[in-house]
């Protein structure tokens, strides 16, 4: 967990309006303006600007090393931008943590750690505090955790060690953990805005498992805004409302389908070693899959 | 065995040894489990060997050995922890990464201690006790210090149990939830340094790594929660220390080496495939 202290970067200053509070459903879930980030002198992201409206499902796709995970960490407030600004529901990311859930890469979880699935999911309710933070283990929290596990098809696994889960099961358990932070609807039944961020969530899941996972994410669409990053080109699908391609810069795609021009622009460096025909075939395959499911 | 028990009732030094084994087991169970689960074994090794610098300082200047060793080991460990925190994961295993820095501090602390001891005029003290431990010569004052440390350890664990648990299972997620991951990590590193200094009295700085890792490594095979792992590791540590002490008593071999021999044998038995299958 290295702390990143970015060097100054000659980016434009952000021009977002002042912070708004409290969170209101009409406020965009994510506002990113002229965002730049550099590791030392190595620029990773340059002049990234985009907005995600509440309820959208944005897929951020790009090659390895293109800055996707860095962008996600900036959205989470774990890194300080070299330039520009990030707002989550109109506030700085650190001030919006109670409205954010995070599913990190599968490999960040120590699968050999002695803990049960239920214990791991309960951790999702963690709140920061001067004493190191904590989460509830009372009956209400356990009920919520068990309900989430049931929703994700893991109800019988609550007492199992996390090390005994398959990759797909573990990924779903991590999603349940992220959703523990999701506030309960108001007394009027209105959902409180919530942003779910996922980092390569299907990297360790087989193709069938991927669709099951996306089917689950689809059920959250009404109550959550979802931003997912992946290097998987086959992700073009009707699940997403928007797709953005990231490789140092960000290009929003005009629809929820990948375009050959956008692919060439983003994966251009890979295209030298990967014939464009193969890239296009993968694109066509993914679009056919999307059409088949749509 | 009856002879050993009769002697334990008569001799103060043997009673001190039993108390030391009990108190060290508490630290071993708690800190050892966190060290193993956080994969901090290399850092704990660095802390134990760097502690030799503190021993050298204490001997050269005539300062209290326990306090001096403790502060020196704590400083070296926090430096190692700081370097680890500020090394990007992609560089961790490469030249200039955290492993290299820990290795440098590991060797430098030990070399510093040796130089100071050699420069101490007329010093003819027994260094083997620091290297391989001498549980039979632990003074009563050290027993009280160990008891105090155990109390501190339990209090810290009670206050920070969820934070330490969180960084042990998934640092990225803990950080995303706003938990003070860096502080908790340095707290864990600091506790490790303190435990290492305590255990040096029992098995010496060469073998301390084994006592800090073998009992938790055995416990983790049979436990489903971190806290049960701590309890079982503590009990294992106590059992191995007592068995090693009895073995050393009857065979007149080094008590530290005897404790590690017993621990290693137990680890081998726990690793047998038949036992593995039963726990899966």
**Which phi and psi angles does B155 have, rounded to 5°?**
-65, -45
Nearest residue, CB atoms, A104 vs list B173, B224, B229: B173
**Mean pLDDT by 10-residue block, N- to C-terminus, for chain B (280 residues)?**
79 89 93 93 91 91 88 93 77 57 90 90 72 82 90 93 92 90 93 89 80 92 91 96 92 89 94 63
The two tokens of residue A284 are 């066509």
Which pLDDT belongs to residue A281?
Answer: 54
- The minimum CA-CA distance between A150 and chain B, rounded to whole Å, is 22
Q: Does B81 touch chain A (CB under 8 A)?
A: no
Q: Which of A106-115, A117-126, B17-26, B180-189 has the lowest mean pLDDT?
A: A106-115
Interface of B with A in 28-57 (CB under 8 A): 37
Which pLDDT belongs to residue B276?
Answer: 60
Annotated domain spans of chain A: 30-109+191-293
- Mutation to test the A interface, candidates B40, B164, B169, B187, most A Cβ within 10 Å: B169
Q: What is the ipTM of this complex?
A: 0.81
B166/A110 CB distance under 8 A:
no
Give the length of chain B: 280
Gap between the Cα atoms of A229 and A238, Å rounded:
16
Nearest residue, CB atoms, B163 vs list A133, A162, A177: A133
Which pLDDT belongs to residue B207?
Answer: 78
CB B202 within 8 A of CB B20: yes
DSSP state of A256: S
B225/A132 CB distance under 8 A:
no
CB neighbours (10 Å) of residue A184? 9
Classify A30-109+191-293 by CATH class.
alpha beta
Q: How buried is residue A40: exposed, middle or buried, by Cβ count under 10 Å (0-12/13-18/19+)?
A: exposed
Which pLDDT belongs to residue A132?
Answer: 65
pLDDT in tens, A225-265: 999 998 776 655 677 888 899 998 998 876 666 777 777 77
Which pLDDT belongs to residue A201?
Answer: 86
- Mutation to test the A interface, candidates B90, B170, B183, B279, most A Cβ within 10 Å: B170
- Cα angle, residue B194 at apex, residues B189 and B198 outer, rounded to 5°: 145
Which pLDDT belongs to residue A289?
Answer: 55
CATH code where residue B101 lies: 1.10.3470.10
A245 - beta bridge partners?
A: A61, A251
Q: Does A135 touch chain B (CB under 8 A)?
A: yes
Nearest residue, CB atoms, B163 vs list A104, A132, A174: A132
pLDDT in tens, A3-42: 444 444 444 444 454 444 455 567 899 999 999 999 888 8
The helix-helix angle for B140-169 and B12-37 (nearest 10°) equals: 10
The two tokens of residue B86 are 């500020």
Query: Which chain A residues contact residue B178 at CB under 8 A?
Result: 94, 97, 126-128, 133
Q: For the residues of B11-33, what is the DSSP string, one character each?
A: -HHHHHHHHHHHHHHHHHHHHHH
Which pLDDT belongs to residue A288?
Answer: 58
Q: What is the mean pLDDT of residues A132-139?
A: 76
Question: Which residue segment(s) compose the domain that B62 sits in?
Answer: 2-120+127-279
Q: Is the model's pLDDT at A48 over the cut of 80?
A: yes
Query: Which chain B residues contact residue A128 at CB under 8 A?
Result: 177-180
A109/B170 CB distance under 8 A:
yes
Q: How many domains does chain B have?
A: 1
């Amino acid at each position: 967990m290295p702390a990143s202290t970015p060097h100054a970067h000659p980016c434009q200053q952000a021009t977002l309006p002042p912070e708004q509070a409290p969170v209101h459903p009409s406020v965009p879930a994510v506002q990113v303006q002229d965002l730049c980030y550099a590791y030392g002198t190595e620029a990773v992201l340059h002049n990234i600007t985009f907005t995600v409206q509440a309820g959208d499902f944005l897929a951020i796709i790009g090659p390895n090393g293109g800055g996707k995970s860095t962008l996600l960490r900036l959205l989470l407030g774990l890194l300080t931008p070299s330039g520009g600004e990030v707002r989550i529901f109109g506030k700085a990311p650190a001030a919006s943590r109670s409205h954010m859930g995070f599913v990190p890469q599968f490999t960040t979880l120590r699968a050999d750690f002695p803990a049960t699935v239920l214990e791991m999911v309960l951790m999702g309710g963690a709140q920061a505090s001067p004493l190191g933070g904590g989460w509830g283990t009372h009956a209400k929290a356990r009920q919520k955790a068990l309900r989430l596990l049931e929703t994700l098809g893991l109800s019988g696994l609550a007492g199992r060690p996390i090390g005994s889960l398959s990759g797909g099961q573990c990924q779903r358990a991590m999603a349940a953990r992220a959703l523990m932070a999701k506030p309960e609807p108001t007394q009027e039944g209105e959902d409180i805005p919530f942003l779910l961020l996922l980092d390569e969530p299907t990297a360790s899941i087989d193709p069938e498992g991927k669709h099951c996972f996306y089917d689950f994410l689809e059920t959250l669409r009404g109550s959550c805004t979802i931003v997912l990053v992946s290097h998987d080109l086959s992700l073009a699908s009707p699940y997403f409302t928007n797709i953005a391609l990231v490789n140092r810069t960000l290009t929003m795609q005009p629809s929820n389908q990948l375009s050959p021009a956008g692919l060439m622009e983003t994966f251009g460096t890979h295209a030298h070693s990967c014939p464009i025909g193969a890239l296009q075939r993968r694109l066509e395959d993914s679009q056919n899959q999307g059409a088949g499911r749509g | 065995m009856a002879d050993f028990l009769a002697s334990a009732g008569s001799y103060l030094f043997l009673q001190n040894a039993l108390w030391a084994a009990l108190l060290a087991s508490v630290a071993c169970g708690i800190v050892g489990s966190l060290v193993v689960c956080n994969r901090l074994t290399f850092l704990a090794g660095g802390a134990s060997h760097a502690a030799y610098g503190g021993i050298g300082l204490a001997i050269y200047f005539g300062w209290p050995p326990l306090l001096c060793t403790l502060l020196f080991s704590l400083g070296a460990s926090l430096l190692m922890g700081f370097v680890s925190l500020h090394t990007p994961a992609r560089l961790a295993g490469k030249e200039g990464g955290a492993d290299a820095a820990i290795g440098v501090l590991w060797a430098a602390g030990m070399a510093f201690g040796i130089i100071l001891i050699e420069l101490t005029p007329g010093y003819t003290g027994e260094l083997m006790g620091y290297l391989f431990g001498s549980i039979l010569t632990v003074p009563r004052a050290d027993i009280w210090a160990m008891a105090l440390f155990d109390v501190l350890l339990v209090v810290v664990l009670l206050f920070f149990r969820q934070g330490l648990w969180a960084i042990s299972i998934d640092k990225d997620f803990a950080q995303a939830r706003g938990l003070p991951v860096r502080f908790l990590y340095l707290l864990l590193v600091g506790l490790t340094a303190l435990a290492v200094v305590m255990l040096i009295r029992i098995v010496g700085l060469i073998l301390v790594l084994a006592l800090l890792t073998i009992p938790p490594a055995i416990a983790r095979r049979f436990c489903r929660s971190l806290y049960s792992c701590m309890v079982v590791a503590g009990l294992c540590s106590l059992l191995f220390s007592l068995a090693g002490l009895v073995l050393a008593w009857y065979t007149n071999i080094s008590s530290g080496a005897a404790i590690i021999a017993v621990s290693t044998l137990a680890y081998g038995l726990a690793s047998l495939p038949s036992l593995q299958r039963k726990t899966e």
